[in-house]
A and B are shown apart, each in its own frame.
Chain A
């Protein structure tokens, strides 16, 4: 299956791209993407502690199953609660 993966803020900066198409085996979950990214960027594992993922504009977990055409995003911590 093919999915689109989007990267924002610090993820965009580190991976040096804002989105890409990924071809994944049937039965893949969000975790499949995270593992693939970890091969390219081992330090991303540290970010996983504070980062969230979304699938089709809804927050997801690493166990969320993926389907053809899904839009996945890595959501780094949002702007925080003490400013403005």
Chain B
């Protein structure tokens, strides 16, 4: 399952998507909306995505994980639209025979998701201002920089 959705994410959808009898571990990551950025109060977040490309890139990340760890049960879902504090914006589940690889693969999936999956976040501040989140160093490391 690689999906962009406007529906509420609970985590159960990705956990169920990776269930397998030979799995000894399921690592589940939930990204939630934080009430501040570097101390500045945030009211809510707005996410926008390019769904067909985002889902394609998620599938590519799963392929990278299959190559690196031999893990084939990965699911990723990201929500778009306006999200309130505490709501889940992204969920990643990885099922693996042993937990060590599962933890590593799940962290890798989130790092890659933030590098190559076209999803944008707009922070709405408590003082009424709002802005699209700017790039950081990680972005400049992505391999497909304009030449």
Do chains A and B interact in one complex? yes
Residues in A lying within 8 Å of B, measured CB to CB = 6, 8-10, 12-13, 48, 50-54, 57-63, 73, 75-84
Contact of B134 among A53, A59, A77 (CB under 8 A): A77
Q: How far is the CA of A49 from the CA of B90 in the complex (A)?
A: 28
Contact of A80 among B32, B52, B89, B139 (CB under 8 A): B139
Q: A78-B114, A80-B133, A80-B136 are in contact. List 6 more A-B contacts (CB 8 A).
A: A6-B50, A10-B132, A54-B50, A57-B50, A59-B144, A84-B89
Q: Which residue of A lies closest to B143 (CB)?
A: A59
Q: Which residue of A lies closest to B122 (CB)?
A: A9
Instruction: Kindly count the residue-residue contacts between A and B in the assembled complex, taking CB atoms under 8 Å apart.
Output: 93
Q: Is the CB of B50 within 8 A of A63?
A: no
- Which chain A positions have C-beta within 8 A of B53? 54, 57-58, 73
- Which chain B positions have C-beta within 8 A of A62? 146-147
Q: Is the CB of B118 within 8 A of A78?
A: yes
- Which chain A positions have C-beta within 8 A of B124? none
Q: Is the CB of B133 within 8 A of A48?
A: no
Q: How far is the CA of A80 from the CA of B115 in the complex (A)?
A: 7
Q: Is the CB of B118 within 8 A of A8?
A: yes
Interface residues of B in 88-147 (CB under 8 A from A): 89-90, 110-111, 114-122, 132-140, 142, 144-147
Q: How far is the CA of A61 from the CA of B146 in the complex (A)?
A: 5
State how many angstroms separate the Cβ of A6 from the closest Cβ of chain B.
7
State how many angstroms separate the Cβ of A52 from the closest Cβ of chain B.
6
- Which chain A positions have C-beta within 8 A of B90? 84
Q: Is the CB of A84 within 8 A of B115?
A: no
State how many angstroms separate the Cβ of A18 from the closest Cβ of chain B.
9
Q: How far is the CA of A10 from the CA of B120 in the complex (A)?
A: 9
- Report the 10 A-B pairs with minimum CB-CB distance, sorted nearest first: A81-B138, A77-B135, A59-B144, A9-B120, A84-B31, A57-B53, A79-B121, A80-B136, A10-B132, A61-B147
- Provide a sorted-by-A list of 14 A–B residue pairs whose CB atoms are within 8 angstroms: A8-B118, A9-B120, A10-B132, A51-B146, A52-B146, A61-B144, A63-B147, A73-B50, A76-B120, A78-B116, A80-B133, A81-B138, A81-B139, A83-B34
